[in-house]
Amino acid sequence: MCGICCSVNFSVEHINKHLKEDLLYYLKQRGPDSSKQLLKSDVNYQCLFSGHVLHLRGVLTSQPVEDERGNVFLWNGEVFNGIKVGAEENDTQIMFNYLSSCKNESDILSLFSEVQGPWSFIYYQASSHYLWFGRDFFGRRSLLWHFNNLGKSFCLSSVGTQTSGVTNKWREVPASGIFSIDLKSTAISKCVILTLYPWKCISRGNVTKECVNSLTQISADLPKFVSVEASEAKLYLEKPVVPLNTMLPQAPFETYHTDVFRALPVRETLQVYLTDKHMKEVVQQFIDVLSMAVKRRVLCLPRYESLTPDEVLKICDRKANIAILFSGGIDSMVIAALADRHIPIDEPIDLLNVAFMTKEKTMPAHFNKKRNKQKYCEIPSEEFSKNPATAADDNPDKQFGVPDRITGRAGLKELQAVNPSRIWNFVEINVPLEELQKLRRNRICQLIHPLDTVLDDSIGCAVWFASRGVGCLVTQDEVKSYQSNAKVVLTGIGADEQLAGYSRHRVCFQTHGLEGLNKEIEMELGRISSRNLGRDDRVIGDHGKEARFPFLDENVVSFLNSLPIWEKANLALPRGIGEKLLLRLAATELGLTSSALLPKRAMQFGSRIAKMEKNNEKASDKCGRLQEISLENLSIGKEFKM
């Protein structure tokens, strides 16, 4: 994972050899292992490339990389499939080698059509004066653009910056395809024209109509002096996933799911489903494809294999290389159980569980009474560990006993029962109100932008604190402060969108039936890049960690897309069973019997961040808290040096 940036200036008399300090600071946070910049000048324009690398595979390869012909490449991605990358090879160099051998735009599009995994990139083609850039089909890596000075300059970057009192012009680059711009032509004509090569589904019909719709939507969010057009040759990228199966049952849906299921005890419902031979096969296929997705994401990083046995023995404490955003809910439980299959048994796994301070006592009085006799530690955060007065209560169970903490502890016990040999580090991350407000104002608001809703605030802050991994480990014997140093963070995003996990899916089904539900799920995947993934990548990447999304692996999505809707969810059944039915059946097969029955609870409610400040807000409202930029934040990069 990397922080990448390219600043283009068409007014060469005002050459800028340095990026703004605050932007450099946030880019450096994403890539702490290597920083480099490169200036490419032409008579008509100049490009400043800046690359900051988080080293995870192969030989450390500093960015930007340049070849003998002057081509320049910035890569923020992981090749998990589609293109061969050896265990000792670096995918940045592999991708650059392929790009350098491309003879035309069709070759470039073919290359990116084959890559499976998250990516964003910037590629300067020296001979043609073209700049290529874009994000993967799901938008799993952030890339923003900023056009200013009436087309005299623009910037592409993994992160943006805000300025107090000034309208923010950063926008997310749409994950609609790959873009190119002819820098020489733009400098001469003074007109900024972007060419879009959109994703195309080979088996779908009206590609021209889809492209026109994409161009219209993108243009609506750009300044008037920037235009977007399709390529003259009508070239496209091939979508990496199969189309959604929208088939409907020939008989009424109720005949497939009779009242027998509704009459059964909740726990027995899943067992009865698994007696059906076809359904059991589907569940096993799902487990297999998801397990492979998790395997790719937990093994693509350096471990101790290169050390001798004697060197390994000298390492007193094995550190966790993998962390999981962990609520104890069905999504994170299944990911944890599958990660356990592939991570070396002597390597701990960090389970990151975040809770925000509540005013009322939410922990049931009977829950784990032994814990109340223990001595607890307040969260040792960077901001608050120096000030004990910030602890508002002597008993964290009272103020941090939120729903996700309760289900998280229960999930920990279930995982320990499945594999007692594994060290499961359950990291309790407690966030007081004052710390939330200060770090949001000083730091997190910059990362969430350009998104700006109440929902973005709640989830963005929760994910930032959780992925930071600063908390406590509580065992029967002791309580100690803990900092997760895992560079890879697995998240369960994508499960709800594909398996009808949200409450709005149930409402849609009740109103419009299976046909309406299919349309809703198709829409969910289509907008996931703009609603979630860019934001989450910026927030997690700020800690020098990489977010990985097993449920959005191309093979997993294609498998789920191939199934009819009733094999993925049955919203005629009660909450806690019907939504994400296929995942619940998989959890049951994996031995996770209790968590398989937990109802969906959104992160902002499970962690109680949504209850900390204002209770009367709507998720879609503009969030004023994200506009409160600290003066301290505006000078945050003053001490940063390249």
Are the C-beta atoms of residues 99 and 86 closer than 8 Å to each other?
Answer: no
Are the C-beta atoms of residues 633 and 21 closer than 8 Å to each other?
Answer: no
Q: Which residues of 53-79 are buried (b: 16+ CB within 10 A; e: fewer)?
A: bbbbbbeebebbbbeeeebbbbbbbbb
Q: Are residues 223 and 82 in the same domain?
A: yes
Q: Is the pLDDT at 638 greater than 60, yes or no? A: no
Torsions phi, psi for 323 (to 5 deg): -120, 155
- 33 vs 380, which has greater pLDDT? 33
Are the C-beta atoms of residues 426 and 351 closer than 8 Å to each other?
Answer: yes
Q: Is the pLDDT at 373 greater than 50, yes or no? A: no
Q: Is the pLDDT at 256 greater than 80, yes or no? A: no
Q: Are residues 412 and 486 in the same domain?
A: yes
Asked whether residue 509 is assigned to any structural domain, the reply reads: no
pLDDT at residue 368, rounded to an integer: 45
Q: Are residues 215 and 289 in the same domain?
A: no
Asked whether residue 264 is assigned to any structural domain, the reply reads: no
Which two structure tokens, joined as six digits, stand for 357? Answer: 């301070």
Positive or negative: CA dihedral 275, 276, 281, 286: negative
pLDDT at residue 550, rounded to an integer: 98
Indicate which CATH number applies to the domain containing 116: 3.60.20.10
- 263 vs 24, which has greater pLDDT? 24
pLDDT at residue 375, rounded to an integer: 36
Are the C-beta atoms of residues 293 and 555 closer than 8 Å to each other?
Answer: yes
Q: Is the pLDDT at 369 greater than 60, yes or no? A: no
Interval 585-600 mean pLDDT? 91
Residue 228 in 3-state DSSP?
A: strand
**Chain mean pLDDT for the chain:** 85
- 613 vs 499, which has greater pLDDT? 499
In 386-450, DSSP assigns E strands to 424-431
Q: Which residues of 221-253 are buried (b: 16+ CB within 10 A; e: fewer)?
A: ebeeebebebbeeebbbebbbbebeeeeeeeeb
Q: Is the pLDDT at 381 greater than 50, yes or no? A: no
Read off the pLDDT band of 164 (50, 70, 90). low
Which two structure tokens, joined as six digits, stand for 84? Answer: 């061969």
Percent of the chain with pLDDT strictly greater than 90: 63
Asked whether residue 257 is assigned to any structural domain, the reply reads: no
User: Lowest-confidence range among 94-108, 128-142, 373-387?
Assistant: 373-387
The residue from 2, 211, 461, 623 that is catalytic is 2
Interval 327-338 mean pLDDT? 96
Which residues share a beta bridge with 146? Answer: 155
Read off the pLDDT band of 496 (50, 70, 90). very high
Q: Are residues 234 and 285 in the same domain?
A: no
Q: Is the pLDDT at 266 greater than 90, yes or no? A: no
Quote the DSSP letter at residue 93.
H
Active site (annotated) includes residue 2: yes
Indicate which CATH number applies to the domain containing 612: 3.40.50
Percent of the chain with pLDDT strictly greater than 70: 83
- 332 vs 164, which has greater pLDDT? 332
Going by their DSSP bridges, the two strands 34-41 and 349-356 should be labelled as: unpaired
Q: Are residues 72 and 216 in the same domain?
A: yes
pLDDT at residue 208, rounded to an integer: 56
- 615 vs 305, which has greater pLDDT? 615
**pLDDT tens-digit map of 437-468:** 999 999 999 999 999 899 999 999 999 999 99
Q: Give the DSSP H/E element, type plus range, for residue 49.
A: strand 46-53
pLDDT at residue 636, rounded to an integer: 52
Asked whether residue 225 is assigned to any structural domain, the reply reads: yes
Read off the pLDDT band of 428 (50, 70, 90). very high
Asked whether residue 263 is assigned to any structural domain, the reply reads: no
Q: Are residues 203 and 289 in the same domain?
A: no
Which residues share a beta bridge with 77? Answer: 119
Are the C-beta atoms of residues 301 and 56 closer than 8 Å to each other?
Answer: yes
Which two structure tokens, joined as six digits, stand for 364? Answer: 């049931």
pLDDT at residue 637, rounded to an integer: 45
**pLDDT tens-digit map of 557-574:** 999 999 999 999 999 888
Asked whether residue 335 is assigned to any structural domain, the reply reads: yes
**pLDDT tens-digit map of 284-309:** 999 999 999 999 999 978 765 544 45
pLDDT at residue 592, rounded to an integer: 94
DSSP, residue by residue, 288-343:
HHHHHHHHHHHHSS--STTS-HHHHHH-SSPPPSEEEE--SSHHHHHHHHHHHHHS
Are the C-beta atoms of residues 563 and 282 closer than 8 Å to each other?
Answer: yes
Q: Which residue has the tokens 């995994």?
A: 117
Q: Are residues 166 and 219 in the same domain?
A: yes
Q: How many Cβ atoms are within 10 Å of 601's Cβ, its own excluded? A: 15
Going by their DSSP bridges, the two strands 424-431 and 349-356 should be labelled as: parallel
Interval 126-131 mean pLDDT? 94
Q: Give the DSSP H/E element, type plus range, for residue 2.
A: strand 2-9
Are the C-beta atoms of residues 407 and 328 closer than 8 Å to each other?
Answer: yes
Asked whether residue 568 is assigned to any structural domain, the reply reads: no
Q: Are residues 136 and 234 in the same domain?
A: yes
pLDDT at residue 128, rounded to an integer: 93
Q: Are residues 231 and 120 in the same domain?
A: yes
- The last residue of a domain, from among 238, 254, 271: 238
| 128: CB partners within 8 A, 6+ apart | 182
pLDDT at residue 265, rounded to an integer: 67
**pLDDT tens-digit map of 63-90:** 999 999 999 999 999 999 999 998 889 9
Which two structure tokens, joined as six digits, stand for 346? Answer: 């002597």
Range of the domain at 39: 2-238
Quote the DSSP letter at residue 383.
T
**pLDDT tens-digit map of 504-532:** 999 999 999 999 999 999 999 999 998 88
Read off the pLDDT band of 254 (50, 70, 90). low
Q: Are residues 345 and 233 in the same domain?
A: no
- The last residue of a domain, from among 238, 257, 292: 238
- The last residue of a domain, from among 205, 238, 271: 238
Cα–Cα distance for residue pair 544/538, rounded to 1 Å: 10
Q: Which residue has the tokens 């299921």?
A: 261
Q: Are residues 125 and 210 in the same domain?
A: yes
Q: Is the pLDDT at 376 greater than 90, yes or no? A: no
Q: Measured at the alpha carbon of residue 243, what is the angle toward residues 237 and 244, in degrees to the nearest 5? A: 150
Selection from 568, 617, 58 nearest residue 302 by Cα = 58
Q: How far is CA 451 from CA 90, 429, 445, 537, in A?
A: 32, 25, 9, 13
pLDDT at residue 476, rounded to an integer: 78
In 126-216, DSSP assigns E strands to 130-135, 144-148, 153-157, 171-172, 177-182, 192-200
Interval 537-554 mean pLDDT? 97
pLDDT at residue 43, rounded to an integer: 87
Read off the pLDDT band of 259 (50, 70, 90). low
Are the C-beta atoms of residues 569 and 577 closer than 8 Å to each other?
Answer: no
Q: How far is CA 400 from CA 328, 363, 471, 639, in A?
A: 15, 8, 12, 36
pLDDT at residue 362, rounded to an integer: 44
Q: Are residues 220 and 323 in the same domain?
A: no
Asked whether residue 574 is assigned to any structural domain, the reply reads: no
pLDDT at residue 12, rounded to an integer: 64
Domain count, the chain: 2
Are the C-beta atoms of residues 171 and 221 closer than 8 Å to each other?
Answer: yes
